[in-house]
């Protein structure tokens, strides 16, 4: 009989092991996540400055579904108590939310502090703690202050310094009560969609260079903030700082094709490893990125690689700047090798990897990209354990959307959650991965970026037609509350 790996928490031997009967480890963090621009509304209330998402959604054009905006969203800025009721109804142990940088610092700098913004987040943090809910705070979730974008945004080194000063301000202001920090949410998405393809704010389209340059500065900004915490606040506040990285899992389209297997490595290399290798391993980009981009740049007539380089000093500063691994997982792709023949440079072209959806996988009704593959999460967790020195991992986002109108009886969606939780149990007990928490995206239906309100990810339904914006639990909320109360998945017959 096989015994559990030594790294796994003690559990019955797993030869007959059934994840349906297993409990999560003690002290497991049960959470839900949101982001400021997606829920708060109050886009110019009480002295808030504009962010790139305010500008992006206010500009005419078909960039967002039906030209919708986050001006009101779920109005969490005025309805925080309603969100708190949802959190309590679920019995969450943790709540992840983001601070709106330009609500706190309207022009992005510490030159002027908007006290009303500070008051709002103090209220949120204090009431979470009063209800024994641990806050996990993201400093920046896609909504860069517009005034910083006007000076180059993430393409400029000035934003690295502004972010570090903002982080210092947040640690100083809220760090006596917040112990779990995330610097940046999904730098990959900001780089690829915000500065390369231009389909998300700030809408910069600079194929082949925009993503690499903006990512370069975000990695430096993250590292600077981590060091600020480490140097100035850690001793007194005792918290942890990381960065939320998103990644798909990937499988070769033809399992036995070496070319497809190598394309899988590039696909993950150019997404997760792009950020995780420098931050968790060696301060530098993955070898596969450096060699590939250098070769492609040469072919395209560039005098040097389109991928910027870190100095030796920067590498030393970046290496080891995360106290845990924060993973956002949604989907899996089949990957095919594809020769890139186009002379137009692009990050996607550099990967020479084509993404294919497996038609046998169900797709979430609210997001055409979201193939539902719960086992992909287990594989990704194992990959992170093996590649990044067995870190503590929080799954800081995972979820499934429904299209609007969304039924309150979302049994199908709950089935996806249930299967996902089973895969996490297998990762913990069979693979020995140190998963310490799971956060559903999202607490509430909200503004789903370019899909506006047409894609509903919430555990609670929000009726946008009703000015009171009532929050009503989906079946998934009721089921999730049972899981949390029992610290394990509950069978339908229980």
Residues noted as catalytic: 186, 397
Segment lying near ligand GAL (by CB under 6 A), choices 60-68, 73-81, 182-190, 403-411: 182-190
218 makes contact with ligand GAL (CB under 6 A): no
What is the chain's alpha carbon radius of gyration, rounded to the nearest angstrom?
A: 22
Binding test (CB under 6 A) with ligand GAL, winner from 248, 251, 410, 448: 448
Instruction: Say which residue the tokens 């610092």 belong to.
Output: 105
Q: Is 186 in the site for ligand GAL (CB under 6 A)?
A: yes
Comparing CB distances to ligand GAL, the nearer of 75 and 297 is: 75
Segment interacting with ligand GAL, rule: CB under 6 A, options 345-353, 384-392, 441-449, 478-486:
441-449
* Residues 266, 287: Cα–Cα separation, whole Å: 10
Site for ligand GAL, residues 316 to 335, rule: CB under 6 A: 328
Question: Residue 230 has which token pair?
Answer: 């480490």
Closest to 101 measured CA to CA, from 115, 117, 116 = 117
Of positions 54, 397, 423, 445, contacts ligand GAL by CB under 6 A: 397
Q: By CB under 6 A, is residue 246 in contact with ligand GAL?
A: yes
Does position 56 interact with ligand GAL (CB under 6 A)? The reply is: no
Q: How far is the CB of 229 from ligand GAL (least distance, A)?
A: 22
Peptide bond into 419 cis (omega under 30): no
Which of 189, 259, 281, 419: binder of ligand GAL (CB under 6 A)? 189
Whether the CA torsion 311, 315, 316, 318 is positive or negative: it is positive
The Cα 198–Cα 59 span in angstroms is: 14
Calpha distance 279→243 (Å, rounded): 9
Please report, as residue ranges, which positions from 92 to 121 form the binding site for ligand GAL (by CB under 6 A): none
452, 64 Cβ separation under 8 angstroms: yes
Relative to beta strand 402-403, strand 455-456 is antiparallel
What's the N-to-C CA distance of the chain in angstroms? 30
At closest approach, how far in Å is the CB of 350 from ligand GAL? 22
Give yes or no for a contact between 132 and 36, defined as CB atoms under 8 angstroms apart: no
Pick out residues in 26-45 that bind ligand GAL (CB under 6 A).
35, 38
Size of the residue set binding ligand GAL (CB under 6 A): 12
76 binds ligand GAL (CB under 6 A): no
CB of 183 to ligand GAL, least distance (A): 14
Taking CB under 6 A as the rule, does residue 185 contact ligand GAL?
yes
Which of residues 189 and 357 has its CB atom nearest to ligand GAL in the complex? 189
SS3 content of the chain, % helix, strand, coil (to 5): 45, 15, 40
Stretch that binds ligand GAL, among 129-137, 157-165, 183-191, 262-270 (CB under 6 A): 183-191
Q: Quickly tell me which residue has 């210092």 as its tokens.
A: 168
Q: How far is the CB of 72 from ligand GAL (least distance, A)?
A: 17
Residue count of the chain, please give it. 494
Is residue 449 involved in binding ligand GAL (CB under 6 A)?
A: yes
Give 310 or 329: the residue with its C-beta nearer to ligand GAL: 329
**CA distances from residue 62 to 67, 189, 401, 450 in whole angstroms, order as listed:** 6, 20, 22, 9
Binding residues for ligand GAL, per CB under 6 A?
Answer: 35, 38, 185-186, 189, 246, 328, 397, 441, 448-449, 457
């Amino acid at each position: 009989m096989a015994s559990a790996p030594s790294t796994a928490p003690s559990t019955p031997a797993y030869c007959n092991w059934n994840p349906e009967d297993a409990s999560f480890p003690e002290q497991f963090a049960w959470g839900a996540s949101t982001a400021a621009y997606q829920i708060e509304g109050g886009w110019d209330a009480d002295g808030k400055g504009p962010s790139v998402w305010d500008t992006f959604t206010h500009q005419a054009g078909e960039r967002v579904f039906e030209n919708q905006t986050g001006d009101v969203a779920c109005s969490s800025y005025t309805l925080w108590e309603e969100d708190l009721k949802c959190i309590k109804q679920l019995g969450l142990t943790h709540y992840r939310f983001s601070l709106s940088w330009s609500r706190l610092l309207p022009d992005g700098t510490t030159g002027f502090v908007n006290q009303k913004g500070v008051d709002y987040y103090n209220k949120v943090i204090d009431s979470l703690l009063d209800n024994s809910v641990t806050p996990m705070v993201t400093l920046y979730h896609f909504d860069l202050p517009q005034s910083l974008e006007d000076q180059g945004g993430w393409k400029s080194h000035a934003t690295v310094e502004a972010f570090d000063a903002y982080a210092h301000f947040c640690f100083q202001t809220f760090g006596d009560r917040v112990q779990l920090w995330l610097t940046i949410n999904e730098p990959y998405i900001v780089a690829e969609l915000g500065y390369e393809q231009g389909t998300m704010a700030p809408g910069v389209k600079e194929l082949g260079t925009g993503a690499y340059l903006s990512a370069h500065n975000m990695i430096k900004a993250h590292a600077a903030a981590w060091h600020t915490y480490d140097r100035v606040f850690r001793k007194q506040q005792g918290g942890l700082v990381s960065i939320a990285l998103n990644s798909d899992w990937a499988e070769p389209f033809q399992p036995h094709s070496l070319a497809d297997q190598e394309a899988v490595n590039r696909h993950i290399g150019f997404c997760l490893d792009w950020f995780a290798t420098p931050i968790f391993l060696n301060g530098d980009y993955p070898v596969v990125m450096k060699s590939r981009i250098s070769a492609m740049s040469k072919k395209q007539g560039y005098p040097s690689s389109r991928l910027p380089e870190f100095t030796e000093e920067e590498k030393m500063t970046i290496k080891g700047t995360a106290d845990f691994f924060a993973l956002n997982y949604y989907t899996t792709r089949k990957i095919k090798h594809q020769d890139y023949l186009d002379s137009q440079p692009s990050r996607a072209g550099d990967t020479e990897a084509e993404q294919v959806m497996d038609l046998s996988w169900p797709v979430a009704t609210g997001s055409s990209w979201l193939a539902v593959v719960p086992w992909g999460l287990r594989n990704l967790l194992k990959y992170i354990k093996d590649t990044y020195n067995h870190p503590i991992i929080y799954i800081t986002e995972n979820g499934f959307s429904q299209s609007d109108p969304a039924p309150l009886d979302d049994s199908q969606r709950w089935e996806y959650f249930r299967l996902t939780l089973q895969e996490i149990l297998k990762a913990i007990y069979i693979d020995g991965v140190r998963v310490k928490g799971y956060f559903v995206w999202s607490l509430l239906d909200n503004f789903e970026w370019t899909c506006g309100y047409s894609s509903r990810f919430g555990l609670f339904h929000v009726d946008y037609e009703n000015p009171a914006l009532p929050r009503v639990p989906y079946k998934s909320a009721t089921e999730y509350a049972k899981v949390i109360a029992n610290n394990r998945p509950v069978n339908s017959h229980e």
